[in-house]
């Protein structure tokens, strides 16, 4: 992931992305790299694996909590092209994640784009707690 840091920083110069998921800093990078309970997955196109399309953060399930999507960032140049939907589907179907059947994501109530995204892919909105709405994946574990 350290090799990915320059393009990640570049993406977060985008005002909208930075407002929704930023700001990023070296402390965040060090935390993510050292945390065995999750991962930041870089989503690419197999035809051009050197070009990142999306970045998806995941905290793996524990006995107390399901798998959690912590962040989903799409290249600002590709916003609105369906990459987010494809990235989410790829993460959910990736066969290398640990066991755990359920998935959730927490979305800030002041992030209407993420709210609309999770509703559009068929995730179920739940309760709001501390300014975050929990979304649950449909039982077929995918996107509609």
Nearest one of 81, 55, 84 to 70, comparing CA atoms: 55
CA dihedral angle for residue 63, residue 66, residue 67, residue 73, rounded to 10 degrees: -140
pLDDT of residue 135: 96
Cα–Cα distance between 87 and 91 in angstroms, integer?
Answer: 6
**pLDDT, mean over the chain:** 84
With a pLDDT cut of 70, the percent of the chain lying above it is 91
The answer, yes or no, to whether residue 139 has pLDDT greater than 70, is no
pLDDT digits (tens, 9 = 90+) for 23-67: 777 777 777 777 888 888 888 888 988 888 898 989 999 989 999
Is pLDDT at 136 greater than 90 in this prediction?
A: yes
The pLDDT assigned to 101 comes to 79
| pLDDT tens digits along 84-103 | 999 999 999 888 888 877 99
User: Would you state the structure tokens that stand for residue 49, as one six-digit string?
Assistant: 């694996």
What whole-number distance in Å separates Cα of residue 66 and Cα of residue 79?
A: 28
Starting at the earlier edge strand, list the strands of the sheet with 103-108.
38-45, 48-59, 67-74, 103-108, 132-136, 124-129
Find out whether 23 and 56 touch, Cβ atoms under 8 Å.
no
- Phi-psi category of 99—alpha, beta or left, where left has phi over 0 and alpha has psi -120 to 50? beta
> How far is residue 84's CA from residue 117's CA, in Å, rounded to a whole number?
8
CATH of the domain spanning 2-136, picked from 3.40.50.300, 3.40.50.970, 3.40.630.30, 3.40.50.1970: 3.40.630.30
Return the domain boundaries, the chain.
2-136
């Amino acid at each position: 992931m350290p090799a990915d840091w320059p393009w990640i920083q570049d993406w977060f110069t985008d005002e909208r992305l930075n407002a929704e998921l930023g700001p990023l800093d070296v402390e965040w990078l060090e935390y993510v790299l050292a945390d065995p309970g999750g991962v930041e997955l870089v989503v690419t196109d197999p035809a051009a694996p050197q070009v990142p399309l999306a970045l998806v953060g995941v905290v793996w399930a524990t006995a107390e909590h399901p798998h959690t999507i912590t962040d989903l960032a799409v290249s600002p140049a590709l916003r609105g092209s369906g990459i987010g939907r494809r990235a989410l589907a790829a993460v959910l179907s990736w066969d290398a994640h640990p066991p755990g059947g359920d998935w959730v994501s927490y979305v800030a109530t002041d992030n209407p784009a993420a709210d609309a995204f999770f509703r559009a892919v068929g995730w179920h909105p739940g309760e709001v707690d501390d300014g975050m709405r929990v979304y649950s994946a449909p039982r077929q574990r995918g996107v509609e």
